[in-house]
Structure formats: structure tokens, C-alpha cells
Amino acid sequence: MLYFKRWQVIGILLVVLLGFLAVLPNFMSRDTLARWPSFLPKSQMVLGLDLQGGSYLLYQVDRNDYIQKRLKDLTADIRKTLLDNPRIGYTGLGVQGDGVQLRIRDLTQLDDARTRLGKLRNPLDASVLSAGSVYEFDLTVGDDGLVRYTYSQNGLTQRVRQIVQQSIEVINRRINGLGTTEPSIQRQGDDRILVEAPGVGDPTRLKALVGQTAQLEFHMVEGSLTSDQANASPPKPGVTRVPDRSNPQLIYEVDDSALMTGQDLADAQAGFDQTTNEPVVNFRLTTGGAQKFGDVTAKNVGRPFAIILDNQVISAPVIRSPILGGSGQISGGFTVPAANDLAILLRAGSLPAKLTIVEEQTVGASLGADSIRAGIAASIVATVFIAVFMIVCYGILGAFADLALIASNFLMIGILTTLGATLTLPGIAGIVLTMGMAVDANVLIYERMREEAHAGRSTLAALDTGFRRAFGTIIDSHLTALIAAVALFELGSGPVRGFAVTLAIGIISTLFTAYLVTRLIVAGWVRWARPKAVPL
Amino acid sequence: MKFPIRLIPDGTNLPFMDWVRIRTPISLALIVLSFALFFTIGVNQGIDFKGGTIIQAHNANGPVDIGKVRGVIDGLNFGDVQIQTTTSNGQTDALIRIALQPGGEEAQQQVVDKVKTALGSGYSLENVEVVGPTVSGELARSGTFAVLFTIAGIMLYIWFRFEWQFGIAAVATLVHDAILTVGFFAVTRIDFDLQSIAAILTIIGYSLNDTVVIFDRIREILRKYKQMPIREVINLATNQSLARTIMTSLTIELALIALFAFGGPVVRSFTAAMIWGIFVATASSIFIGGPILIYFNIRPRMVEAKAEEEAAKATDTTAAGA
């Protein structure tokens, strides 16, 4: 046990050296690193949000909101389909719970209605699992003329996944438009998106940029009324009531079908109105959008249209002349940053569904700096405590254990750095705790050596047997700790995961250093000092 | 005094098996007490499991006026609200805890906005944590699952490495430790959150580690002295591992004390639970894990089969080492 082949010695020293080299970049500035030879490791440990400050926002797709939106679209489509020639009469069209219901008046037209309405079921891409195609809506047409669409649960799962994907793309574009910080945006589970933004002081702006649906629509205005009047009477069919953004008492009645939507926009930029000098958003339409808009405005000169963002009317200008150039201006009492953000949102496109924040954590930068200081202080104090304690209890062998402990720390931090793991405060706690556990293997070995020496073995034999006999126990004790670490990882939300990862890596590096590095040191010491007795 | 010093003198032979009359009542009483506390006053569930909002508000123009903050927040009618002071970076801030609001995820988001507006521009929100109803439910479930998963994994491992009797004894020990740790949370009113589950899992891992080392020794003695009564075997094994058990616990406690004193407020509750848990785990591995085996009628032949395997392995390594 105390004899090493040359390649073994080199191997062990090499691993320790690699660990040391991997840790080094953490102590250097980026400038120094840039001049660092390319064959050496360069990665630095990523600090968690709790250490550097920042925001952690967990969004979830609002399924209900999405379903309601789609049902509203469907209602408009049904109306359009049935009004086509030959016209099919119906009553009671409307959204009911998670479906749309209507009744066909003339039962002789039922077959025609069935074919026409069937086309609105909206087939989704057939998934790998189900052979038949999946529809977004399930349709039942009763012989009594009662028609009911319901949102298909099968279709929903698939849609939600697409929504998450699209949302991530949109959010990425929005944040790139912001151009300052580099947040990470990840899918989490089936219907969630995790946005982590380091360093943002107040997340209000970030939240507004990420979470706003930013659905822009232009609608013709049919009329306007006060909210009291609106409460007193139900809206006419075919119009929707939308409140004004700055004055919630003012309710506009707008035509259900949109003149154009955010998808028709080619570009949007913040600017100033040339006459009033008020901050505005200038937009340019796509070729198709420009044509559509030109036609509509030509037909409706003198009438107002509403610019609606997320179900609020920003402004309702009157069309003075046909807008043929395909560009226009949105004004609505914006501040400069608000106009900027709106331009970013419009450029990046709207979110396919509403996103709700289900979990949020924001840590101020000074608090993070505090935590780093505390973590470093705790690590140093713990190391000193343990090192002194080991020397007091095990003398020179304790000092060897301390060397192994230092090697283990380098290895652990080196592995964490190389893996690109994120260091969190619980992670630091994991490192400190592992230090306490790291010497356990040494304790097991040394206690064994004592026993063997007391049992009358020669010095060399006692040292040797100590390592050999303790091995099984060390493996047992480390593996059980590893089981706990795996469970912790499974438990897994951010910071606890950080703890689990450092714990697991610590257990592995400890196993290596306590068993191999200590043994190597002891072997060297035996050869050099030729001890007459086990110094315990 | 001789150097290096021995914390546990050589040849220590304490009659652990004779202490059953003291040990069992104490341990049972603590378990009953923990259960009683858990079901009466319960643990102080943290934001992770209960949902809600925690805000650390910092006054830019000097020390925080806790009375004013309380008045402002009370005016917002959030129901269950706790306000206390917290010191970080040499500054005293207000720590505001607000219970989960009815009305789903959006209602929680409005809490932060309302507090911010109500406190006015002099205050900045240093640290904001919001957990909505969906996530808190999930965290509670996955926390429970993680504990059960660990216990099952550990049982399998011990069964594989030892005999099922050892597995049950080990699990009894760590369940004991877990229950006493929950009791600790009930008594101290420390927030019981995801970090607490992490603490319990780490304690379980450590408790097992301690117990396994003693089991290893029991097995070894059983092999060596086939005629020795099991009672003496357990006692001898516990005594022989005592130095290691105490030493390792002490080093870990030293690390934890450093963490508790210097690691800052974020990890303090976690560390406090760990300090208690490691203490309990050490005591239970000495007083419960080994001694409980006496009820399982362990016989030397039980370890025989696995012993031969290992002996064969040991000879191989010796041969290779020579």
C-alpha cells in the first residue's frame, strides 16, 4: 500500500496540478486571462444570482388565457364562415367556459354547416405518438342544431410546448434589443420559462419587457362610452369594448376584426413628433400590411381607428387622409424610455400567450457582495479550525491530512470551475461542509493505524494496514453521502442544486485526496524519515 | 500532556449496551415530543412551501424606521404580515414577510408593486422573493419525495452491502434523526423551507455514514470472533469506532460553527439545523444504530457469505501490494 509505481506518482501529482491550474483563473482579472497561454484552463466560476445580485424570474404559460384568446378568435372565424354565401343562420354564438357554442337555425343546412365548421378545427402537426392528426378544437354537432367546440387537451400540451419555444425566441429578441445585460433564458419543464438576469437593480423594467404580451392591433372605432354606460348595456354583436389606457372611465367600442396586427410591422423605432416634440414610436409596415392599411384608410377617411396594445387603447386618431406610404406614428403621452421599450417590444413581436410570474427572486448587488464576503470568511475560518484540530489530534499525520484537504479544495473548486457550475451561497456552504467531511477518511485511516500499532504490528505494517483496512469503510461512508447528494439534486431548485453539486463533487475529490494523496505523502515521509513508531 | 492529544483514551470500553434504560426513554420521549410539537404548534413553514412574499426594504436616507414601515404595510391590508429588522453590510433594513394573497399568481406580483409604491421613493427593495401558489405546492411535494427517495435508496444500499437487518436498523436510526430535526424546527421556529429539507437530507446522509462505519466494525468482529455474544460484539464495535465517530463529528461541527458565525444570515438557519442534526446523528449512531441490532438476532453465519467474498478480495489486494 505504501509503494507507488512511478506512473502512479506522476498521475496523482498531475491530477492535483490540474486542479490547481483550473482554480487559478478565478483569481485573475479578465485582462490577465486574455494573455494566459491557450493550453491552460481559462474558465472562471460563474457566480450565482445570490452572490452577484440579479433577478430570477420563473414564468408560466397561462393556459386559460391562451384558450380564451383562441376561443375568441374561433368565434370570429365561425361568424365569418357562416356569413359566407350561402349564408347559414345561427343564434347564441359565444364563448361558454372552455368552449364555443352556437345553434344552427335552419336544420336543413346542418350538413353544409358541419362541413364548413369542421374546417375550423385547425389540425396541428401530427405528433410522433399519435397516428391520426390532432386538432386544436374538438367539434360536436348535434342533430338539434347545437354546435359545440371544445379546446382539445391533446392539442393543448403540444401547443404549450410550441408557445414556450416561440416565447423564448421573442424574449431573446426583446432582451437583445435592450442590449445591456446578458440574461439567460431557458425552458423549464413543459410550460415554464426561467429568466435569470445578473446585475439588474430593479427588475420592473425587465419584467415589463419580458412579460408583456405586446399584442398590437389596429381596429376601426364604432363608438365610445363611459364605463358606467358600459356596465348598463351589453355590447352589440361584432364589437368589443376596450378601455382607454390613460383614462379607464373611457371605453371604446371597436370592430371585432383587426385592420392589422403587430405581424404586419416591418420595423419600429422610438422618435419625436416633429411638431409637438413628444416622444413617439415610428413604425413601418410590411409591403402586404402597407397595402392593406392603405386600402382601409382610403375607405374610412374621417373615421377614427384605435391603436390597441394588450387590450388597452393607446390612442384613437382620426384618419385624415389615406395612409399609403406604409409608415406611421404611435403617440400616447409616452416618456422617452417608455417609447423606447414599446419600440423594442414591437420589433421583437408579441408573445403567443400570456406569461405569468410564478416565482421571483431579486437580490441586490450589495447583498450579494455581502454573501461572498461571508462565504469566504466562513471557508477560511473553517479551514483553519479543521487544520489546527487535525494537527492537535494527529500530529504530523494530521498535517498530512491538512495538505490533502487543501489539495481536495483545489480539486473540488477546479472541477466546479471546469464544469461551469454556478457558485451559490448554499454551494459555498456545501464546500465548507465537505471540508469537515473531507478529513473523515483520514480519521478512519489514522484510527485504524493506531489500532494496528497497538495490536503489535511493526510501524510499517501498521501504516500499511491502516490504509488497506479503512478502504472498505471509506467507500461505504462516501457512497452513502453520495446517495444523499443525488437526492438533494433531484429535489432540485436552483440554490439547493448548487449545494448538492458541490457536495457530490466534494465527496469524489475527497475520496481521491484522502486515499491517494495522503497515502502518497505518507509513503514519501516513510522513505525519507524512516519513523520508528506510528506517531499517533 | 502528550502530543498529539487523544480525545478518546485508548482502550475506552464504555458499557453502551447497559445504558438501555436511560437511552430508550430519552430517545422515545424526544420522538414523542417532536411529534407532539409538529402536530400542535407545527413548524414555521417558509415561503417555499407556503407561498408568499419576502421583501427586504432599505432606506436610502438613514436607518430604517420600522414603525413607519409597519404602519404603511398594515394600511395595505395583506392579512398575515410579519415585519422585523435585519442587519447586513452594517445597515439595518426592514424584512417584510407577507402571506400568500388570494387571487392566483398575479395577486402576488401586485404585492411587490403596492409595497414599493406605499413605501415611497426613499426606500429601495434590496431583496425580493415571491413564490406563487403553483410553485409552492410543487416544492412541498418534491421536498417530501426527495426525503422518501433518499430513505429508500439508503435502505437498498445497506441491504446490498450488509444484511436486511442492518438496513432496518440504519433506517430506524436516520428516521429518528430526521424526526428530531423536525422537532428542532418546531421548537426554534426557524423557517422550514427548501434549505431545511436540504439540511435534513444531509443529516440523513451523515447519520447513515456514521452508522455504516459502526456496522462495518460489527461485521468485522463477527467474522473474527465467531463465539463472541452479539451483545459484546456490538459494544466492542461501538467502542472501537468511538474515536472516529467523535473526531469526524467534531471536525464537521467545527466547519458548521465557522459557517454559522461567519456565513451570513442566508445560510444561518440551515447551519443551525445542521449543527443540531450532526449532534443527534452522532449520538444516535452510538446509542441506537448499533444497539438496536440486538433485537434482530444477528448471527455470525449471516455475514459469512459476504465475508468470504470480501476476504478473497482483501487477499488479492495484499498479493498485488506485495
Nearest to B255 among A202, A360, A432 (CB): A432
User: pLDDT by residue (tens digit) across A498-527?
Assistant: 788 888 898 889 888 988 999 999 999 998
Give residue B56's domain range.
Answer: 52-131
From the CA of B40, how many Å to the nearest CA of chain A? 27
Residues B181 and B231 in one domain: yes
| Final residue of a structural domain among B131, B154, B170 | B131
Cβ atoms of residues A200 and A66 within 8 Å? no
Same domain, yes or no: B120 and B237: no
Asked whether residue A387 falls in the same domain as residue A310, the answer is no
Q: A277 CA to chain B: closest CA distance, Å? A: 29
How far is A522 from B312, CA to CA, in rounded Å? 27
Are B204 and B146 within one domain? yes
Say whether both A237 and A98 belong to one domain: no
Chain centre to alpha carbon of residue B134: 26
CA B35/CA B42 separation, integer angstroms: 9
Whether A372 and A521 share a structural domain:
yes
Asked whether residue A189 is domain-assigned, the answer is no
Give pLDDT, residue B309: 56
Q: Is residue B321 part of a domain?
A: no
Domain count within chain A:
3
Please say if the pLDDT value at position B1 is more than 50: no
Among A3-7, A111-115, A477-481, B53-57, the range scoring the smallest mean pLDDT is A477-481
Task: Judge if A130 and A232 occupy the same domain.
Answer: no
Tell which of B236, B251, B269 to mutate to test the A interface (max A CBs under 10 Å): B251
Answer yes or no: is pLDDT of A272 > 80: yes
Please give the pLDDT value at position A130. 52
> Out of A366, A378, A481, whose CB is closest to B205?
A481
- Which A residues in the span 240-279 are in contact with B, Cβ-Cβ below 8 Å? none
Closest CA to A211 of A93, A73, A96, A354: A354
Amino acid B308: pLDDT: 54
> Does the residue A175 lie in any domain?
no
Q: Give the pLDDT of residue B92.
A: 83
Shortest Cα distance from A234 to chain B (angstroms)?
A: 26
Final residue of a structural domain among B131, B164, B186: B131
Domain boundary among A157, A179, A203: A157
What CATH number is associated with residue B56? 3.30.70.3400
Task: Give the bridge partners for A45, in sequence order.
Answer: none
Query: In the prediction, which pLDDT does A495 show?
Result: 64
* Interface membership of B8 toward A (CB under 8 Å): no
pLDDT, residue B305, reads 55
Which residue does chain B place closest to A449, by CA atoms?
B244
Model pLDDT, residue B179? 93
A501 Cβ under 8 Å from any chain B Cβ: no
Is B256 at the interface with chain A, CB within 8 A? yes
Q: How many CB atoms lie within 10 A of CB A201?
A: 16
Cell numbers found for residue A331: 403617440
Strands A260-261 and A99-104: unpaired
- Would you call A229 an interface residue with chain B, using a CB distance cutoff of 8 Å? no
Q: How far is B190 from chain A (nearest CA, A)?
A: 17
Query: Is A473 in contact with B213 (Cβ distance < 8 A)?
Result: yes
pLDDT value for B320: 42
Give how far Cα A33 sits from Cα of A19, A29, A38, B111, Å. 17, 6, 9, 45
- Strands B191-192 and B44-45 come out as parallel
Domain match, B172 and B298 both: yes
Closest CA of chain B from A536, distance in Å: 7
Question: Which of A357, A426, A491 is facing B267, going by the closest CB pair?
Answer: A426
Phi first, then psi: give them for residue A181, nearest 5 degrees.
-85, 170
- Grid cell locating B303: 455475514
Q: Same domain, yes or no, for A133 and A257?
A: no
The predicted structure's pLDDT at residue A403:
93
Residue B314 at interface with chain A, using a CB cutoff of 8 Å: yes
Does residue B4 have a cis bond before it (omega within 30 degrees)? Answer: yes
| pLDDT confidence of residue A260 | 83
Contacts of A392 in chain B (CB under 8 A): 3-5
pLDDT at B177: 93
Q: Are residues A322 and A396 in the same domain?
A: no
Let me know whether B169 and B250 are in one domain: yes
B164, B278: one domain: yes
**Residues of B with CB below 8 A from A357's CB?**
105, 108-109, 130, 132
Residues A273-299 have a mean pLDDT of 88
Q: Indicate the pLDDT class of residue B2, thresholds 50, 70 and 90.
A: low
The verdict on A400 and A280 lying in the same domain is: no
Q: Which one of A108, A135, A157 terminates a domain?
A: A157
Average pLDDT of the residues in A290-318? 88
Determine, yes or no, domain membership for A391.
yes
Q: Is the CB of A487 less than 8 angstroms away from the CB of B146?
A: yes
Q: Does A456 touch chain B (CB under 8 A)?
A: no
* pLDDT category of residue A478 using cuts at 50, 70 and 90: confident
Q: Are residues B25 and B171 in the same domain?
A: yes
Q: Is A193 near chain B, with CB under 8 Å?
A: no
**Residue A293 corresponds to which amino acid?**
F
| Residue A284's CATH number | 3.30.1360.200
Q: Is the dihedral of CA A7, A13, A16, A17 positive or negative?
A: negative
pLDDT at A426 over 70: yes
Are both B253 and B160 inside the same structural domain?
Answer: yes
- pLDDT tens digits along B290-301: 888 888 877 766
Residue A234: inside a domain, yes or no?
A: yes
Instruction: Please state the rounded mean pLDDT for residues A488-494.
Output: 70
Q: How confident is the model over A151-206, as pLDDT tens digits?
A: 888 778 888 888 899 999 988 888 877 665 677 888 988 889 998 888 766 777 88
Task: Answer yes or no: do A273 and A389 share one domain.
Answer: no
Give the whole-angstrom CA distance, residue B210 versus residue A440: 10
CA quadruple B258, B259, B263, B265: dihedral sign = negative
pLDDT at B321: 40
d(CA A284, CA A287): 9
Cβ atoms of A249 and A294 within 8 Å: the answer is no
Q: Domain of B295: which CATH number?
A: 1.20.1640.10
Last residue of a domain, one of B72, B100, B131: B131
Q: What is the DSSP letter of A277?
A: -
Say whether both B61 and B187 belong to one domain: no
Q: What is the C-alpha separation between B51 and B73, in angstroms, rounded?
A: 18
- Is A90 a residue whose pLDDT tops 50? yes
In a domain, residue A497? The reply is: yes
User: What is the pTM for the complete model shown?
Assistant: 0.78
Q: Closest partner residue to B209 among A382, A385, A480, by Cβ?
A: A480
The confidence score (pLDDT) of residue A397 equals 92
In this prediction, residue A119 has a pLDDT band, given cuts at 50, 70 and 90, of: confident
Rounded to a whole number of angstroms, the distance from the CA of B7 to the nearest CA of chain A is 8
Residues of the domain holding A92: 63-157
What is the C-alpha to C-alpha distance for residues B194 and B196, in angstroms, rounded to an integer? 5
Residue, of A496 and A164, whose pLDDT is higher: A164
Which residues of chain B have a CB within 8 Å of the CB of A58?
A: 135
In this prediction, residue B268 carries a pLDDT of 84
Low-confidence winner among A476-480, B67-71, B301-305 (lowest mean pLDDT) = B301-305
Average pLDDT value for chain A = 85
One domain for residues A258 and A279 = yes
**Helices and strands in chain B, H and E counts:** 10, 6
Contact B258 A385 (CB under 8 A): yes
> What is the secondary structure of A406-469 as a DSSP string?
HHHHHHHHHHHHHHTPEE-HHHHHHHHHHHHHHHHHHHHHHHHHHHHHHTT--HHHHHHHHHHH
Q: What percent of chain A has pLDDT over 90?
A: 12
C-alpha cell at B13: 470500553
Distance CA A378, CA B40 (A): 36
CA distance A113 to chain B (A): 40
Alpha-carbon span A360 to A356, nearest angstrom? 11
Using 50, 70 and 90 to split pLDDT, how confident is the model at B29? Answer: very high
- Amino acid symbol at B208: L
Q: Do A497 and A407 fall within a single domain?
A: yes
Q: Tell me if B294 is assigned to some domain.
A: yes
In 3D, which of A450, A441, A439 has the Cα closest to residue A389? A439
Q: Does A509 touch chain B (CB under 8 A)?
A: no
Query: Given B88, B204, B254, which is nearest A436 (Cβ)?
Result: B254
Q: Does A394 touch chain B (CB under 8 A)?
A: yes
| CATH classification at residue A474 | 1.20.1640.10
Q: Among the three residues A121, A138, A157, which one is the final residue of a domain in this structure?
A: A157
Choose, out of B5, B212, B262, B316, the residue to mutate when testing the contact with A (most A CBs < 10 Å).
B262
Interchain pair A382, B254: CB under 8 A: yes
CA–CA dist A63, A354 (Å, integer): 8
Do A502 and A378 share a structural domain? yes
pLDDT at A128 over 80: no
Residues A37 and A77 grouped into a single domain: no
Question: A487 touching B, CB under 8 A?
Answer: yes
Q: Report the share of chain A in percent with pLDDT over 70.
A: 96
**Is B318 a member of any domain?**
no
Output A72 or A493, whichever has higher pLDDT: A72
Whether B11 is in a domain gets the answer: no
From B241's Cα to the closest Cα of chain A, the distance in A is 8
